[in-house]
Amino acid sequence: MLAMAFVGFAINFWAWALISPLGPSLKDALGLSSVQQAFMVAVPVVVGSLGRIPVGALTDRFGGRRMFAVVSFLTVLPVLFIGLIGHSSYAAVLVGGFFLGIGGTAFAVGVPFVNAWFPPEKRGLAAGIFGAGMGGTAISALTTVKLVKHGFATPFVITAIALAAYGVAALLVLRDAPGRTAPAEPLLTRLAATARLPITWRAALLYAVGFGGYVAFSVYLVTYLENAYGLSQPDAANKMAGFVLLAVVLRPLGGWLSDRIRPSLVLAVAFGVVAVAALVQSGTPRLAPVGTIAFLVMAAALGAASGAVFALVAQQAPASKVGAVTGLVGAAGGLGGFVPPLVMGSIYGSRGSYALGLILLAVVAVLALALALETGRRRAARPADV
């Protein structure tokens, strides 16, 4: 079940990230500004993020088997729309990107589904392994630009086929955990109760920085490398894929470490590393080796932080509300990835440099470090507080 959930998450994230690698070429073809390009690649992120709130609650109600299939089938439609007809105008790409965001909601399906299959002491690692499916964005980075050479629709049609095949497989293979009890309360009542849990908002803020930072780089790093270092689009896409893959590998490690030591400590160390690396990169050092090291260190830290947040959720959220909590926390993570590309595009457009954006990232990472430590102290002082 964990393997199937991982595959479903990866395929849906592959679809979710299809626009990002094509951002520079679409910018040229459609005559877009830097801010318009940033908004274009960010739209699927914000929709996929907000959509996690109802999808997480619906997963608590209907189970992961049904919801994985529904999300996968629905995502086929915007993928084909963009690939076949929707790439001809900026407005059409935005509309397609809006509905492409559905693929990003798969995360809120998988966490409660996987969580229910494992005992509490193993949920951090299990959630981390599932979360490594965010590597679907690396598939997009490595393949989309190359496949477009065989026709713009090619990567979109291939992805649509993968989504449809997985939707069928989900209905045939996936099984919800034995003993799963569907909540009887109405959706809005459950969401309101979830919003009152302290862990929901602490985890949401931490995930907005950890996973949000990862998402922001995964959708904007190609543009950054082209503007700051003059790299070609294929070279920049390959380097972005390396960033994504390292973050993916470190996410299960963050969950595993959190099962053995406090998640708050893992988060504090990770955010401290991000702050230092961001400050180093703010000076735009030579890409080889300093810039490359700075970005890879940030990738590792952001991946570990993303895994640690859901170890925290697994330990502190009530079992019946894991899906709803995941939806709200996952939404915050995606929204955390929506804002930075817009900020970076605006800063570069006005200053011709990304330095201020990276300094702001360092400041936010330090604030997240402080929140992580405070969350750990609160938990230690009030073990029953969830």
Alpha helices, DSSP H, located in the chain: 2-16, 23-30, 34-50, 52-62, 64-84, 90-100, 106-115, 123-131, 136-148, 154-173, 187-195, 198-229, 233-260, 263-281, 292-316, 322-351, 355-381
pLDDT in the model for residue 92: 94
Whether pLDDT at 319 is above 80: no
Whether pLDDT at 381 is above 70: no
Q: How many domains does the chain have?
A: 1
pLDDT in the model for residue 386: 37
Q: Measured on CA atoms in the order 338, 339, 342, 343, is the torsion positive or negative?
A: negative
Give the contacts of 124 (CB within 8 A, at least 6 positions apart).
255, 256, 258, 259, 263, 307, 308, 310, 311, 314, 315
In a domain, 275, yes or no: yes
Whether pLDDT at 286 is above 70: yes
DSSP symbols for 161-228: HHHHHHHHHHHHH--PPTT-----S-HHHHHHHHHT-HHHHHHHHHHHHHHHHHHHHHHHHHHHHHHH
User: Among 40, 18, 25, which residue's Cα sits nearest to residue 233?
Assistant: 25
Whether pLDDT at 382 is above 60: no
In a domain, 165, yes or no: yes
In a domain, 206, yes or no: yes
Per-residue pLDDT averaged across 204-233, rounded? 88
**Residue 58 belongs to domain spanning:** 2-381
Per-residue pLDDT averaged across 52-77, rounded? 91
Q: Please give the Cα distance from 221 to 137 (Å, whole number).
A: 12
pLDDT in the model for residue 68: 96
Tens digits of residue pLDDT in 96-151: 999 999 998 998 899 889 988 988 778 888 888 998 888 888 888 788 888 999 99
Specify whether the CB–CB gap between 134 and 43 falls below 8 A: no
pLDDT in the model for residue 384: 40
In a domain, 119, yes or no: yes
pLDDT in the model for residue 363: 96
Q: Name residue 101's amino acid.
A: G
pLDDT in the model for residue 268: 96
Whether pLDDT at 379 is above 70: no
Per-residue pLDDT averaged across 274-287, rounded? 95
Give the contacts of 332 (CB within 8 A, at least 6 positions apart).
49, 204, 205, 207, 208, 212
Tens digits of residue pLDDT in 355-372: 999 999 999 999 999 999
Per-residue pLDDT averaged across 194-217, rounded? 89
pLDDT in the model for residue 383: 42
Q: How crowded is residue 226: how many other Cβ atoms within 10 Å of its Cβ? A: 17
Residue scoring higher pLDDT (45 or 250): 250
Per-residue pLDDT averaged across 148-166, rounded? 95
Residue scoring higher pLDDT (378 or 258): 258
pLDDT in the model for residue 378: 67
In a domain, 342, yes or no: yes
Whether pLDDT at 45 is above 50: yes
CATH at 297:
1.20.1250.20
193: confidence class by pLDDT, cuts 50, 70, 90:
confident
Greatest mean pLDDT among 212-216, 262-266, 376-380:
262-266
Q: What are the structure tokens assigned to 61, written together?
A: 């109600």
User: Among 260, 265, 257, 256, which residue's Cα sits nearest to residue 376?
Assistant: 265
In a domain, 386, yes or no: no
Cα distances (Å, whole numbers) of residue 215 to 38, 48, 81, 168, 248: 13, 12, 23, 28, 12
In a domain, 232, yes or no: yes
In a domain, 182, yes or no: yes
170: confidence class by pLDDT, cuts 50, 70, 90:
very high
Whether pLDDT at 380 is above 60: no
Whether pLDDT at 204 is above 90: yes
38: confidence class by pLDDT, cuts 50, 70, 90:
confident
Specify whether the CB–CB gap between 135 and 17 falls below 8 A: no
